[in-house]
């Protein structure tokens, strides 16, 4: 659906800024794909290259099997109508009503009045703002403005929706309702969604797959489940940690003794439901101290994360690790606490 091949973007200047370095992404039809990164990592340049709001310095952008850079400006305008976009700051026309804002893309292509009216009201009903048609954006809350933005983006029946930090200006409750709406857009209309965000929580709640971007490079990508349960790059680990606060309380930290062996155990899928720790304690007749733990759900699958300390013989610990690994549980020895 969206294919980025070796995209680089260099902003001229002294020194020139390399915002994207050889970025390649492949986004399947119908999926929700998230790109996460800190500000300045290149997310904004990345998403703007998909509709050529920013032209990559090198590399290819294919959307719906069409090489965008090969299009004339008229063809590009047509192609853009099939790639909707919503923005962090909503970018609505403050001087026009909600109705007019949503109708604008239709007016631009010269749709008839009656047709426009029908379509706009249908879209406003879909986003839950039919009763606000005659309001001005200044009279709406942030969440409502973003709903208008979504309705406007859907007006031209796009195949793709690009979300540029769409919930970053919203409070947590509103964020959740906008994410629910985006999920509905994906399900009901079958629209492929590409979003960029600095909030890992957005990725966790909405996305199927995720790419982590750092200093203009994609450092990791995979399903949300993979990246959350087993982040490999340091950047990804840092982002995952923002969700599952993995810092040990100071008092727990201090109570640990030097010879204690600390393990991080990640249960995924069905394993998360098994009483594996109890089995280990019985089988190895050892003391296990649970330092921290959580069980959450990711993409509908349970996911457990435990930090334990084992006292005693090093050999026993190795046996325990082996036993757990045989049961397809991810085990990592943690050298220093705080990971």
Partner 1 sequence: MAFDWTVFWPQLVDGTIATFIMVLVSLVFSILIGFPLGVVLVVTRPGHILENRTLFTILNAIINIFRSVPFIILLVAIIPFTRLVTGSSIGTVAAIVPLIFYAAPYFGRLVENSLLEVDSGVIEAAKVMGATPWQIIWRFLLPEALSSLILAATIATIGLIGASAMAGAVGGGGLGDLAITYGYNQFEVRVVVITVLLLIILVQLVQSLGNYFAQTVRRK
Residues at the site binding partner 1, with contacts judged by CB under 8 A = 51, 53, 77-81, 83-85, 87, 89-96, 104-105, 107-109, 136, 152-153, 156
The residue (of 87 and 284) whose beta carbon lies closer to partner 1 is 87
Q: Using the minimum distance from each CB to partner 1, give the nearer residue, 109 or 290.
A: 109
**C-alpha–C-alpha distance, residues 297 and 38, integer Å:** 24
- Residue closer to partner 1 by CB (options 81, 238) is 81
CB of 113 to partner 1, least distance (A): 16
Spell out the long-range contacts of 312-319 with Cβ–Cβ below 8 A and sequence spacing 24 or more: 312/286, 312/287, 314/261, 316/284, 316/286, 317/261, 317/263, 319/284
| Least gap, CB of 169 to partner 1 (angstroms) | 12
Beta strand pairing call for 330-334 and 261-268: antiparallel
CB closer to partner 1 out of 71 and 266: 71
d(CA 277, CA 295): 14
Nearer to partner 1, 92 or 298 (CB): 92
The whole-angstrom separation of Cα 302 and Cα 312 is 31
- Which secondary structure element, helix H or strand E, spans residue 298, and what is its range? strand 288-298
User: Which one, 21 or 96, has the nearer CB to partner 1?
Assistant: 96
Nearer to partner 1, 91 or 174 (CB): 91
Is the Cα torsion angle 111, 112, 114, 115 positive or negative in sign?
A: negative
Residues 264 and 291: their CA atoms lie apart, in Å, by 10
Residue 81 C-beta: closest distance to partner 1, Å: 4
Contact 166, 87 (CB under 8 A): yes
Q: Nearer Cβ to partner 1, position 119 or 152?
A: 152
Q: How far apart, in Å, do the first and last CA atoms of the chain sit? A: 37
Distance between CA atoms of 169 and 149, rounded to whole angstroms? 13
Q: How far apart are CA 215 and CA 273, in angstroms?
A: 38
The bridge status of strand 32-36 relative to strand 17-27 is: unpaired
Question: 169: helix, coil or strand?
Answer: coil
């Amino acid at each position: 659906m969206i294919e980025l091949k070796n995209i680089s973007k260099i902003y001229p200047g002294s020194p020139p800024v390399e915002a994207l370095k050889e970025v390649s992404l492949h986004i399947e039809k119908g999926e929700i794909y998230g790109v996460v990164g800190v500000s300045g990592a290149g997310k904004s340049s990345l998403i703007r290259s998909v509709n050529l709001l920013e032209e990559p310095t090198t590399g290819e952008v294919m959307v719906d099997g069409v090489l965008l850079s090969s299009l004339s400006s008229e063809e590009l305008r047509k192609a853009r109508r099939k790639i909707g976009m919503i923005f962090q700051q909503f970018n609505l026309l403050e001087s026009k009503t909600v109705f007019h804002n949503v109708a604008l893309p239709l007016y631009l292509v010269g749709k008839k009045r009656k047709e426009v009216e029908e379509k706009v009201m249908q879209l406003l009903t879909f986003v839950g703002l039919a009763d606000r048609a005659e309001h001005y954006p200044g009279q709406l809350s942030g969440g409502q403005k973003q709903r208008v933005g979504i309705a406007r983006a859907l007006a031209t029946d796009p195949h793709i929706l690009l979300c540029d930090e769409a919930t970053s200006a919203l409070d947590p409750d509103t964020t959740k309702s906008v994410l629910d709406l985006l999920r509905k857009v994906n399900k009901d209309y079958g629209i492929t969604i590409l979003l960029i965000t600095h909030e890992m929580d957005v990725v966790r709640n909405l996305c199927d797959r995720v790419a982590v971007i750092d200093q203009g490079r994609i450092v990791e990508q995979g399903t949300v489940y993979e990246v959350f349960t087993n982040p490999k790059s340091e950047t990804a680990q840092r982002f995952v940690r923002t969700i599952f606060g993995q810092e040990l309380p100071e008092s727990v930290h201090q109570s640990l003794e030097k010879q204690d062996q600390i393990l991080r155990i990640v249960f995924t899928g069905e394993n998360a439901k098994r009483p594996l720790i109890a089995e280990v304690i019985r089988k190895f007749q050892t003391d296990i101290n649970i330092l921290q733990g959580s069980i959450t759900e990711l993409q509908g699958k349970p996911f457990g994360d435990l930090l334990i300390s084992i006292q005693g013989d090093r050999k026993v610990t190795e046996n325990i690790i082996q036993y757990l690994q045989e049961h397809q549980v991810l085990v990592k020895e943690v050298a220093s606490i705080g990971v």
